[in-house]
Amino acid sequence: EWRLSWNRPELSRNSTRLDQLWQAETEGRLDNWLLGRCVDLLRTWRPSVVVVDAPAATDHAAVLVHKAMFRAVQEAADPTRWSVRSSLNGLSPWSVRRMFERHVDGDSLAVHVRPGTHLPRHGGVVSTLVEQSVSHDPGFQGRGWDGDRLKRIRGTGKAVGDSACQGLGLVPGSAARRLQPQDARHPENFDEMQKRRSRALEGWIRLAERGEHPLEMLTAELLPLLRPLGEDRGGWRLWGIAQRFKRSGHVELSDSLLKALLDRFPEHEASSNAAMSLLASTVSSEKRWQRLRRTNREYSVVSNRVDPTSGATRAAALSQKQAVRIANGPDWRAEMTRVEIDNSIRLARHLKQTSPRTYEAGSTQLTLAALFRSRGANRLADVCVGRIAGRPGDWRTVAKHELWLTNRSGNPPVDSATCSVALERPIVDGVISDRCWEMGQEMRLRSTTRSLDSAADGFVVTACDDEHFYVAARLEKPGPSRCPPSLKRWHDADHTGFDRVTIFLDVDRDYQTGYELTVDERGEVSEACGGDPSWNPRCVVAVDSDENVWRLELAIPWSELAPRRPSAGSCWGLRLVRTMPAVGWQGWGGRDDQQGKPTIGAGILSFGGRGARRRRK
């Protein structure tokens, strides 16, 4: 068991805090503890090959582990070293035959394992096994793997190859190599056929990533290549390719492959994960709005809306000059989502039949509740929420929030706030001196239990008018520092090493997919919609800072988030997460995940009534 604390944002980049924390946890014996731990691992598992990551200069944790493992390989083979521990745990010395460093790139490599490397005895490729393993561990989902590039630092072997175990003489049927009989039904050139098929699939993936062929043509070419693999291997290969495109930002192509997986292999082990992913994407009103905006048509629609203040139904004329397509009718959501609703019901039924545990999970029930609310079936939505509220789990607090919104009895949830109406448009300059911020409700950021320093206080305030949604924040720094603002701002900035705040807006309150806007102390911004970084909205951001505090102001048009400004009394989900490198997290609205980051669920943001707007002179 790894006893050293690791649940700190970017802890490995701060050598001072890392050494301070780990030395305290090992009572000042960090180097000796790491070395002994690595020796015990080698003598327990008795590997012939050891692979360690080549440490970057800024990754101080990797430097410590690399140094300890290199020494451990030598001392694990020496019977005179760690003899007392060996007598206590019964572990005998063990000699490692080869040791490799894993590099991100480079030319002088001994072994290069590519995702499409064919495995003759398994009948598939390496990436299929990787995706199959990752699908069973939520902690690793979302992480990509594009192969291993290994450099030999100990032992002998071939100069260049695609396996770290070449020449070791692993006997079939031994502990290191399973005995698998050759299938007599396979032709003599079966392995060569599989290799050609793997190369064809890799070529297909490269074409898709470069966007050189239409989506329909690529999908039609892919399925015949997968047919000879059979249901099990073909399904996992299709799942792996879909996940690869999702990580690279090709979300539409990924969804089309997941649909093909459900159509061709409905009983496959990965079909439940595919159905859940498609269900969340289909139900999400944020993703639906972005799809509509990309259809390059203008619309004008008259919709019937219920006035929350009087309960009367009134017609509201709506015109939009954005690039969207929408159908005329009494309710544009009903006209536009009829096929989507049918698909959502089909996906939910598939989950209930093939994976009841996934169907009953809190994340699935909240997605279904959002679906029913969008159709006006509030009773069905309450049934879904009630299932979660009655059992322990991460989503129980969220379910209680939803039940309170249903009857509005008792005190409101702790994580609830009201977005005030700005009578005067604020100046977005980072100073936070406008009148609308004085009237707004502060949302205080709370430190998680795993934070090292809770002295850095902070709060966030929201406001809105007919055209924009505004956010302001004042954040105290963990220690005195200076960070000059960026002169230019780009989409999807890298925030590594900088204090930052992530604003999560959930229009339909499914508490999983929504808009994410991250602003750091330089004023750099990154954006995503449901995990898709291709969403690049128009927004105005300004920051101002001194040695002890940094402030931000943000304004984003409503047209980037929804068809119209939310009506008075409506509620969105809101989650705020502040990331302080090597210190910890602060948050509002969310619950801690396994790392201690408050990213589960969201709070409630209610919108106030419309006021008279006066433009600032």
- The answer to whether the beta carbons of residues 576 and 443 sit under 8 Å apart is yes
So what's the pLDDT on residue 332? Answer: 46
- The answer to whether the beta carbons of residues 365 and 372 sit under 8 Å apart is no
Q: What is the pLDDT of residues 169-184, one digit of tens each?
A: 766 666 556 665 555 5
Measure Cα distances from 399 to 308, 358, 409, 443, 606 in Å.
Answer: 22, 17, 15, 21, 17
Closest by CA position to 321, among listed 298, 290, 296, 303 = 298
Average pLDDT over residues 22-49: 94
So what's the pLDDT on residue 112? Answer: 84
Question: Which runs of consecutive H residues, i.e. helices, occur in 294-419?
Answer: 332-336, 338-354, 356-360, 362-374, 378-389, 396-407
Average pLDDT over residues 296-314: 37
**DSSP symbol at 11:** G
* Dihedral of alpha carbons 180, 41, 55, 11, sign: positive
Distance CA 316, CA 331 (A): 11
Please report where in the chains the tokens 């997605």 appear, as a residue: 367
User: Which of the pair, 194 or 353, is modelled with greater confidence?
Assistant: 353
Does the pLDDT at position 498 exceed 90? Answer: yes
Distance CA 240, CA 247 (A): 11
So what's the pLDDT on residue 580? Answer: 94
Does the pLDDT at position 291 exceed 90? Answer: no
Output b/e per residue, 242-272; b: 16+ Cβ within 10 A: bbbbbbebbbebbbbbbbbbbebbeebbbbb
pLDDT band at 319 (very low <50, low <70, confident <90, very high): very low
Cα 64 to the chain's mean position, in Å? 28
pLDDT band at 331 (very low <50, low <70, confident <90, very high): very low
Biggest CA pair distance of the chain: 87
Average pLDDT over residues 361-385: 93
Please tell me the number of Cα atoms within 13 Å of 305 on its side-chain side.
Answer: 19
Average pLDDT over residues 388-401: 90
Mean pLDDT of the chain: 83
Return the CATH number of 416-607, one of 2.60.40.1190, 3.20.20.150, 3.40.50.620, 3.40.720.10. Answer: 2.60.40.1190
So what's the pLDDT on residue 321? Answer: 41
User: Which of the pair, 153 or 612, is modelled with greater confidence?
Assistant: 153
Domain boundaries, the chain: 416-607
Distance CA 464, CA 451 (A): 33
Quote the strand ranges of 477-570, DSSP E.
Answer: 500-506, 515-520, 525-529, 540-545, 549-557
Q: What percent of the chain has pLDDT over 70?
A: 83
Closest by CA position to 280, among listed 347, 376, 352 = 347
User: Which of the pair, 481 or 170, is modelled with greater confidence?
Assistant: 481
Measure Cα distances from 549 to 475, 482, 586 in Å.
Answer: 6, 10, 15
So what's the pLDDT on residue 329? Answer: 40
Measure Cα distances from 479 to 17, 457, 539, 578, 580 in Å.
Answer: 13, 12, 30, 15, 11
Please report where in the chains the tokens 């408050």 appear, as a residue: 598
Measure Cα distances from 91 to 3, 50, 83, 104 in Å.
Answer: 20, 18, 9, 34
Does the pLDDT at position 79 exceed 70? Answer: yes
Measure Cα distances from 125 to 32, 320, 594 in Å.
Answer: 40, 49, 31
User: Which of the pair, 352 or 595, is modelled with greater confidence?
Assistant: 352
Distance CA 190, CA 186 (A): 6
- Structure pTM? 0.84
Q: 399: which 2 tokens?
A: 């379910």
Residues near 24 by beta carbon (within 8 Å), at least 6 away in sequence:
none
- Indicate the range of 138-147, 283-292, 319-328, 373-382 predicted with least confidence: 319-328
So what's the pLDDT on residue 370? Answer: 94
- Indicate the range of 77-86, 330-339, 488-497, 529-538 predicted with least confidence: 330-339
Average pLDDT over residues 19-27: 93
Does the pLDDT at position 399 exceed 60? Answer: yes
So what's the pLDDT on residue 141? Answer: 60
pLDDT band at 351 (very low <50, low <70, confident <90, very high): very high
Distance CA 181, CA 17 (A): 54
Please report where in the chains the tokens 């990965």 appear, as a residue: 270
Does the pLDDT at position 41 exceed 50? Answer: yes
Q: 533: which 2 tokens?
A: 């970084």
- Indicate the range of 28-37, 402-411, 421-430, 498-507 predicted with least confidence: 402-411
- The answer to whether the beta carbons of residues 169 and 49 sit under 8 Å apart is no
Measure Cα distances from 45 to 49, 87, 163, 175 in Å.
Answer: 11, 17, 20, 11
Q: What angle do CA 85, 23, 88 make, to 5 degrees?
A: 10
Output b/e per residue, 456-488; b: 16+ Cβ within 10 A: bebbbbbbbbeebbbbbbbbebbeeeebeeeee
What 3-state DSSP class applies to 13?
helix
User: Which of the pair, 442 or 124, is modelled with greater confidence?
Assistant: 442
User: Which of the pair, 317 or 608, is modelled with greater confidence?
Assistant: 608
The H-or-E segment that residue 616 falls in is none
Q: What is the pLDDT of residues 332-349, one digit of tens each?
A: 443 446 788 889 999 999
Q: 8: which 2 tokens?
A: 């700190």
So what's the pLDDT on residue 455? Answer: 62
Closest by CA position to 126, among listed 143, 149, 146 = 146
Does the pLDDT at position 138 exceed 70? Answer: no
Helix orientation angle between 271-283 and 362-374, rounded to the nearest 10 degrees: 40
